[in-house]
Structure 1
C-alpha cells in the first residue's frame, strides 16, 4: 500500500516537472527583457491578472447578496459558468442526436448505407464554417453558439458509436445466436455493452471538441464567456489577460477531461485492461 502511494506521488511529481521548468524559463526570459513583456508578460504578471479576473469586483454587502453569491460574482467565474453552460447543453443535445443514429447505423446495414454518404459529406466541414449560417438562422446569443457545439460534439460520438457496434467480436455474436438470443437481446446484451468503450471514447473526444468550438463561437456570437473575454483583451492589447483566459480554459478543460476519464474507468470496470481500485 505504501509503495503504491509513493509510486503515485512520484508519478504526479514527474508530471509537474516539465511545466515548472517551462514556467521558470518563461519568467527568466521576461525578467531579463529578452522577450518584450508587453507581448509575453511574465508568469507572475499573468497570475496577478488572473487573480484580478477571479476576485469579486465589489465589496461584500450582506444587504445586497449572500456571501456565496458575492464570492462567485467575479468576472472569471461568470465567464467560466457561461462557457460551461454552453458546452454542457450543446454536448448533451449532440449526444442525444448521435447515439441513436450511431447505434442504428452500426447495427443495420441498410440504415448505414442510407445515411453514410450524407454523414461523410458533412463530417469534414469544420463547425466554424457554419458560423455565418448559425447567426443568420439563430441570431446572436446562446442559440448559435450551442448549435455550433452540437455540430462539434455530434460527429465524434456518432463515428465512434458506429465503429463500436460494427466491430463487435464475431465470437460473441455467434455465441449469442447459438444460445437462441433474439435480435433485441443480442443488441441490448451483446452489441451495446461491447460498443460501450467506443461510445465513451467518442463522448470524451466530443467534450474536447465542444470546448474548442465554444471558444470560437463566443468570439463571434455572444457578449460573455471565456472566448469573448479573450477577444476583448486582444482589442485592448492586454496580453496578460489573454494568457490568463487561456490558462483558465486549459484548467477547466483538464477538470472536465479528468472527470470524463474517471467516469469511463468506473463504467468500464468489467472491461479488460481496466482494473478497479
Structure 2
C-alpha cells in the first residue's frame, strides 16, 4: 500500500502538497540554468561571428577593453549617471501620470470619451517625431529630453492601466454593489487590485519605451549621456564604444525590469501563476 502524500497548511488556510515546494525550487533552478546557458551561448555566438568578421564586428574582448578604458578615463560613469537620471525622471513622471489617467478612462465613461481619442492619436505618433517640436518649444536643455521620454512611458502605461480597469470582472463589481459597497470602496477594494497585473505590465513596457527613446532624446544638444557617446562614436566609426553603450543600456534596463518584476510578484502574490 503506497504512502499518502503529506500536506501542509498554506498561509490562507488551505492544504498544499508537501511536494509543491521542492518542485517549485527545482523548476526555479532549471530556469536559472537555462537563463545562464542562454546568456553564455549568446556571447559565444557573438564571439564566433566577430572572429569571422573581424573588420566590422568587435568581439567581447575588444568591447571589454573599451569598457575598462572608458571607466578609467572618467567618461562612462558620468554618461551612465546622466542617462539614468533622464530615464528615471521621465519614467517616473510618465507612469505616475498614466496610472490615474488610465483609472479615470476606465472607470468614468465621460472621461474615457474625452481622453481616449487624444490618447490614441498621440499613441500612433512616434515620440521621436515630437523631438523637433520639443526643441522649438522647450529649447535645448534637459526639459525636452525628459519630456520625450515621459511621453513615451506615459502612452504605453496609460493604455495598459485603462485596459486593466476595463477587464475587471463585472460580477465582482455587481456583487460589491449588492452588498452595499460604495463606488469608492468598490474602486479601492476590487478595481485597483484586479487592475494591478495590467498596471505592472504597463510599467515594464513603459520602462522599455523610456530606454528606447533615450538615445534619440539625447540627440537634443546633449554633451553627456550614453546616447550622446554612441552618436559621437558613430562619427569616428568607433564600434567598440557603440557596443559598450548598447550593452550598458541593455544591462541597466534589465536590472530595472527585474526590480519591477519583483515588485509585481509582491503586489500580485494572490494571482495564480504558471
- Give the TM-score of the pair, scaled to structure 1: 0.85
Conservation of the 8 A alpha-carbon contact between 2:47 and 2:60: yes
Cα offsets for 1:17-48 (capped at 9, x unmatched): 233334334334434xx31x341112111111
1:166-185 aligned at under 5 Å gives the runs 166-185=166-185
Conservation of the 8 A alpha-carbon contact between 1:145 and 1:221: no
Conservation of the 8 A alpha-carbon contact between 1:141 and 1:223: no
| 2:110 alignment counterpart | 110
Given the alignment, which residue of 29, 51, 70 partners 2:68?
Answer: 51
In the aligned structure 1, how far is the partner of 2:22 from the partner of 2:197? Answer: 32
| 1:12 alignment counterpart | 32
| 1:235 alignment counterpart | 235
* Gap change, CA 1:112 and 1:49, over 3 Å in 2: same
In the aligned structure 1, how far is the partner of 2:27 from the partner of 2:219? Answer: 43
Cα offsets for 1:232-251 (capped at 9, x unmatched): 11111111111111111111
Conservation of the 8 A alpha-carbon contact between 1:144 and 1:221: no
| 1:218 alignment counterpart | 218
Structure 1 vs Structure 2 CA RMSD: 1.9
In the aligned structure 2, how far is the partner of 1:273 from the partner of 1:258? Answer: 17
1:19-98 aligned at under 5 Å gives the runs 19-31=39-51, 34-35=52-53, 37-55=54-72, 57=73, 74-98=74-98
Conservation of the 8 A alpha-carbon contact between 2:63 and 2:244: yes
In the aligned structure 2, how far is the partner of 1:148 from the partner of 1:254? Answer: 21
Structure 2 stretches lacking a partner, 5+ long: 1-20
In the aligned structure 2, how far is the partner of 1:241 from the partner of 1:48? Answer: 10
| 2:254 alignment counterpart | 254
1:117-132 aligned at under 5 Å gives the runs 117-132=117-132
In the aligned structure 2, how far is the partner of 1:27 from the partner of 1:140? Answer: 40
Secondary structure of residue in 2 paired with 1:213? helix
Conservation of the 8 A alpha-carbon contact between 1:135 and 1:221: no
Equivalenced residues, count: 254
